[in-house]
Structure 1
Amino acid sequence: MGRTWSTADIPDQTGRVFLVTGANSGLGLETSKAVARRGAKVVMAVRNAAAGKAAAAAIADEVPGADLDVRTLDLADLDSVRAFADAFEGRLDVLVNNAGIMAPPRSLSPQGHESQFATNHLGHFALTGLLLDRLGGDDPRVVTVSSLAHGHGRIHFDDLSGERGYTPVRYYGQSKFANALFGLELERRFRAAGSGAKSLIAHPGLSATGLLRSTSTLIRVVGRMVVPLTTQSAAAGALPQLYAATEPKAEGGQYIGPDGRGERKGAPAVVKFVPQAYDTDTARRLWDVSEQLTGVKYPLPAAA
């Protein structure tokens, strides 16, 4: 990519509409701020309305005149996802599937799905499918945020809810591996449909975000000791997804992450998933299961 890429390289986004999930903190807040500064209208999808309004006010203090629209969305609840999509009007240029929870004690969503799989994957799968007909404009994109944790993940098709073998880290890995499979399969289906839209995937390396709030007590205590020594800032961690969302040279199907050692820190670069993420049979099986569990059918053909 040549010299180090930064928010200064984001092209003018005037007239473009971004939807960012989890926009009130961490990567989502930094992403919203960066594109608002370049003129985009940003729909800030948040679970907690008060936190969203506070985040929007903070952005407005730094970016006077920022065009921000705070809306409530609980990705763990498919009824909330449908209500949000039903109320969304107008064109959408870029969808950033950013929100997530990490390694909490086992709990179930209102529809009975394991909370990490529900929030990190199923909610975004449903949201993307329900908003697909709004995705348009010049260079429409879907950016899905995965994680280094995808590398130890697999899809537990025989125990998706973790009823028999739940551990917080294992099922976080499942959800992030699902993000990778989904993002790549969505790109294949865009191409099969002859769509002009792009699906890209990004990961933040090791970044200081609010994810530790959802973890178990032990992971949270250990994390508070380790995070300051090993991570980069949320602003730096947001750069890969900002590159994927705005860089004109970015291509569909690319995975963008930090270029430093172990992809833990650094400038945005094209990186590689673990080999299992490119398994099209697993991706199609996950896609079919996700359509069944969410009730959202995509108007896109499977790739040949």
Structure 2
Amino acid sequence: MKIFIAGATGFVGGHLTEALRQRGHELVLLSHARRLTTEAGLSYVTGDVTEPDSYAAAMKGCDAAINLVGIIREFPGRGITFERLHVEATAAMVATAQKSGVLRYLQMSALGTRANAVSRYHQTKWRAEEIVRASGLAWTIFRPSLIFGPKDAFVNMLARQIRLLPLLPTFGDGTYRLQPIHGNDVARCFCEALEKAETRGQTYSLCGPDRLSYRELLDVIAEAVGRPHPLKPALPLGLMKPIISRLQGIAAFPITLDQLQMLLEENICDGDWQNTFTTPPVRFRDGIRAYLGR
């Protein structure tokens, strides 16, 4: 199968392209920067996902299109916004797939996406999903929880902090829960969806087997890097929200109000996705030890 992928050069894209190539698929990857490769079955097209003219020709002749494009934080001054990279990017991808005769379409959304979402991240993810659902394409949507793996941002950031300091404050009491899933498991679901006709027209929430409070997550990471469990003083939300609101525009500041909202809402699911994709997912402890333990 010949597959066009937007967002393939990112973290999840690395897992997915490797998994697809192992299955013998031919890949066409959209990239902002010009890239050259001599690898068989792999080619790059330079372009912008919101500008169909830059990649429409490369999508023609493909059997499927996959959209992995997404951001977790906005920087409007640099054109990095949820509206542009969730909604406009999806609209452009869908329209190009329709015009190019691509019938199979896979979209990466996010766990917690819903019609009445509070965060703008989830609101724009929902609008992107609505575009896909109305497209007439043979679509599948995936909503993964927090994704971990060797090159992830979140777990590696916490590991660095735990290695340096014995103290790691939490926003609020830290009892909100997460259910992380390995990047390889997300990639496997995308690959299998291309092979399973019953996944067409379906939306899957993807989460791992371990449901951990944020405080428990910090302890598991500490164990993986060989450090004692950190002290976890609770930062009052009433105090932190005004501070975050004032400082979230600074790139080096670690969190935004949108991200705080999503953290407090929790990031868990019931695991029904395993009824369709039956290979057992990686346990969080085992997965992070494989790369943090180095």
**Which residue of 256, 263, 266 corresponds with 2:269?**
263
Counterpart-to-counterpart distance in 1, 2:4 and 2:275: 23
Counterpart-to-counterpart distance in 2, 1:205 and 1:269: 17
Q: Which residue of 2 aligns with 1:239?
A: 188
Q: CA deviation at 1:202?
A: 0.9
8 Å CA contact 1:49, 1:72 repeated in 2: yes
**Structure 1 residues not aligned, in runs of 5+:** 1-15, 155-168, 191-196, 214-219, 272-304
8 Å CA contact 1:153, 1:176 repeated in 2: no
Q: Which residue of 1 aligns with 2:52?
A: 81
Q: Which amino acid aligns with 2:141?
A: I
Task: Encode CA deviations 1:198-225: one digit per residue, 9 max, x unaligned.
Answer: 1111122220277859xxxxxx967976
Percent of aligned pairs with the same amino acid: 17
The reply to whether residue 30 of structure 1 matches residue 4 of structure 2 is no
The reply to whether residue 128 of structure 1 matches residue 100 of structure 2 is no
**Structure 2 residues not aligned, in runs of 5+:** 162-169, 171-177, 212-267, 278-294
Counterpart-to-counterpart distance in 2, 1:232 and 1:185: 28
8 Å CA contact 1:27, 1:238 repeated in 2: yes
The reply to whether residue 206 of structure 1 matches residue 146 of structure 2 is yes
Q: Which residue of 2 aligns with 1:164?
A: none
8 Å CA contact 1:153, 1:170 repeated in 2: no
8 Å CA contact 2:15, 2:187 repeated in 1: yes
Q: Which amino acid aligns with 2:8?
A: A
8 Å CA contact 1:22, 1:28 repeated in 2: yes
Find the residue that maps to 2:42 and give its secondary structure. strand
Counterpart-to-counterpart distance in 2, 1:134 and 1:145: 20
Q: Which residue of 2 aligns with 1:98?
A: 68
Counterpart-to-counterpart distance in 1, 2:64 and 2:54: 20
Q: Evaluate the alpha carbon distance shift between residue 201 and residue 270 of structure 1 in structure 2; reply closer, same or farther with a 3 A threshold.
A: farther
Q: CA deviation at 1:152?
A: 7.5
Q: Which residue of 1 aligns with 2:111?
A: 148
Task: Encode CA deviations 1:157-186: one digit per residue, 9 max, x unaligned.
Answer: xxxxxxxxxxxx932122211222222222
The aligned runs of 1:187-202 (5 Å cut-off) are: 190=136, 197-202=137-142
Q: Which amino acid aligns with 2:99?
A: D
Counterpart-to-counterpart distance in 1, 2:97 and 2:203: 22
Q: CA deviation at 1:235?
A: 1.3
Q: Which residue of 2 aligns with 1:6?
A: none
Q: CA deviation at 1:21?
A: 0.9
Number of residue-to-residue matches in the alignment: 203
Q: Which residue of 2 aligns with 1:185?
A: 134
Q: What do you get for the CA RMSD once the two structures are aligned?
A: 3.6
TM superposition score normalised by structure 2: 0.57
Counterpart-to-counterpart distance in 2, 1:243 and 1:264: 20
Q: Which amino acid aligns with 1:70?
A: Y
Counterpart-to-counterpart distance in 2, 1:118 and 1:269: 34
Larger radius of gyration: 2
Q: CA deviation at 1:270?
A: 6.5
Task: Encode CA deviations 1:122-176: one digit per residue, 9 max, x unaligned.
Answer: 112112202313234xxx311111101414865xxxxxxxxxxxxxx93212221
Counterpart-to-counterpart distance in 1, 2:59 and 2:132: 24
TM superposition score normalised by structure 1: 0.55
